[in-house]
Structure 1
Amino acid sequence: MAKGNLPAVLAETLAYEGGWSDHPSDPGGATMKGITLAVFRRYRPGASKEQLRAISADDVERIYRDGYWGPVRGDDLPEGVDLTVFDYGVNSGPSRSAKDLQRVVGATVDGKIGPATIALVKASAPRAVIKAHCARRLGFVQSLAIWNTFGKGWARRIAGIEATSLSWVSTKAQLEADAKQARSTAAAQIGSAAGTGVVGTVDQTNHLSGLPIVLVVAAFVIVAGILAIRIVINNQRAGALANAAKEA
């Protein structure tokens, strides 16, 4: 992949953005190829939902270039890192993505990617930056109130973007090792969930015996739920990484 190739990076993002969406629980409202009506109206004042739905390919690339690729300095970021930062920016805003990138590389966190941030990114191992940035992205979406509605899809997308980004900077062996590690983590979490449900329940009930039974049960439901989410996330990562390894 040629460096700074927005069309190639954009193709990966659009594969997840899909087509038309107007979900009542989505705070972004009507969306076509990841572009909200509010954003489209900056380029086409007064545009209707119907016009957004019929947006041209030229307008799509122009909006993504001006609104996301440019602000995250996509042409200056290393391969792989450019995709993770761009895709996160599309979903949650360029500033938030930039801030998490700056946190990962130890730059001043101001949401504006400048020469100092670029230098620190280039001095860092791209695989480590990609993994850490995707982990921060996942942590952010898990904190959102609508995680229960969209969480599984968000986690699947982040896993796919991470795998694709890593495939641009990794060997086949590295991708296979990444997939194996994710599978092992999921397996360990399954073991923890089993322990929580049986042995752990006995131990923790003794510890919490002074609490009402309703609170004790609620505590274990929460623990089991957290473990279940982590298992799903790592299984998604393992699958995405394994697919990337096969194609490497």
Structure 2
Amino acid sequence: MAVGNFANCLNVTLAYEGGWAEHPKDPGGATMKGVTLATFRRWKPGATKTDLRNISTETLQKIYRADYWEPVKGDTLARGVDLATFDYGVNSGPATARKQLLKVLGGTDAETVKRLCKARLSSYQSFKTWITFGKGWTVRVTAVEAKGVAWSLVADAPVDAPTPSPAEALKAEGIKAASTAKIQGNGGYASAGGAGGGVATPTHADNLDQLATWLLAGIVVGAIALAVYLLWRSHINKKRAEAYRAEAAIVESGAA
């Protein structure tokens, strides 16, 4: 179990939460290191934005532990799974993270981490703010996935010369993700090209009945939707490949 891993998980999360933010499209409003003004006022009634900007490290840790770590039962989760669940909870609420974890739980800890992060990112795509924050979310979730898998592999690795080693396993994940990204990218461009080439011109349509025209339109729309999906998945897997390569290097250096 990963008892005492709160500090490590919080450090990873804070690296993505950044400092002060007050984006007009962010429903959370004014935020400092991931803590919204509304949340801060539950701890410090009547607090101002200036107070939030100057939040102390002690208060920050108390908030994250009480509002996110404890609700997702972080101390009961395996190393790596705790990070993926905690970071998800910070973004989407601990109840959502915990519920999704229970849905994907199973197999090795590394497999659970991968399934949870995939489910998390898939749900984010449906958000209205995806266009604004999608790229940042993709970088964050894929990095958390790779870090969580790395922690899981290191924690579960046997002492007597594991084969493959955690670093080798991470490199293999990176290669697999890069290969998948290439296939999806090629498939996306092919689908888009096929859709564009299959659109009937008015001259052709003159000889088609209305039903056939509707069917053709449906095929074109479906091909375009497939192309968009494949290209999106290709982008995600490219980021996963980058993240896994980075984590493999960290593990090899002994810093994991």
The TM-score bracket by the shorter chain reads 0.7 to 0.9
Residues of 1 paired with 2:136 and 2:12: CA distance?
Answer: 15
| One-letter code aligned to 2:170 | L
- Name the TM-score, length of structure 1 as normaliser: 0.85
Residues of 1 paired with 2:151 and 2:123: CA distance?
Answer: 25
Q: Which residue matches 2:119?
A: 136
| One-letter code aligned to 1:17 | E
| One-letter code aligned to 2:174 | A
Q: Which residue matches 1:184?
A: 179
- 1:149-191 Cα offsets, whole Å, 9 max, x none, are 1011001100010011111122011101110111011000111
Residues of 2 paired with 1:2 and 1:201: CA distance?
Answer: 52
Q: Are 1:4 and 1:76, in contact at CA under 8 Å, matched by a contact in 2? A: no
Residues of 2 paired with 1:78 and 1:58: CA distance?
Answer: 25
Query: Number of matched residues?
Result: 231
Larger Rg: 2
SS in 2 for 1:168: helix
Q: Which residue matches 2:167?
A: 172
Q: Equivalent of 1:232, from 210, 224, 235?
A: 235
Deviation (angstroms), 1:219: 5.4
Q: Are 2:191 and 2:224, in contact at CA under 8 Å, matched by a contact in 1? A: no
Q: Which residue matches 2:22?
A: 22
Q: Which residue matches 1:75?
A: 75
- 1:186-235 Cα offsets, whole Å, 9 max, x none, are 000111023113345445769x9614998877655544332322121111
| One-letter code aligned to 1:102 | L
Q: Which residue matches 1:84?
A: 84
Deviation (angstroms), 1:3: 3.6
Matched, 1:242 2:225: no
- Name the TM-score, length of structure 2 as normaliser: 0.83
Unpaired stretches in structure 2, ≥5 consecutive residues: 154-165, 205-210, 252-256
| One-letter code aligned to 1:136 | A
Q: Are 1:4 and 1:74, in contact at CA under 8 Å, matched by a contact in 2? A: no
Q: Are 2:5 and 2:79, in contact at CA under 8 Å, matched by a contact in 1? A: no
Residues of 1 paired with 2:94 and 2:63: CA distance?
Answer: 13
- 1:28-52 Cα offsets, whole Å, 9 max, x none, are 1111111011110000001111110
Gap change, CA 1:217 and 1:7, over 3 Å in 2: same
Residues of 1 paired with 2:2 and 2:112: CA distance?
Answer: 20
SS in 2 for 1:169: helix
SS in 2 for 1:224: helix
| One-letter code aligned to 1:195 | A
Gap change, CA 1:49 and 1:215, over 3 Å in 2: farther
Deviation (angstroms), 1:13: 0.3
| Backbone CA RMSD of aligned residues | 2.6
Q: Which residue matches 2:9?
A: 9
- 1:22-80 Cα offsets, whole Å, 9 max, x none, are 00100111111110111100000011111101100001000001001111111111000
Give % identity: 43
Q: Which runs of structure 2 are paired with 1:70-219 in the superposition (5 Å)?
A: 70-105=70-105, 124-170=107-153, 171-199=166-194, 201-202=196-197, 210-211=213-214
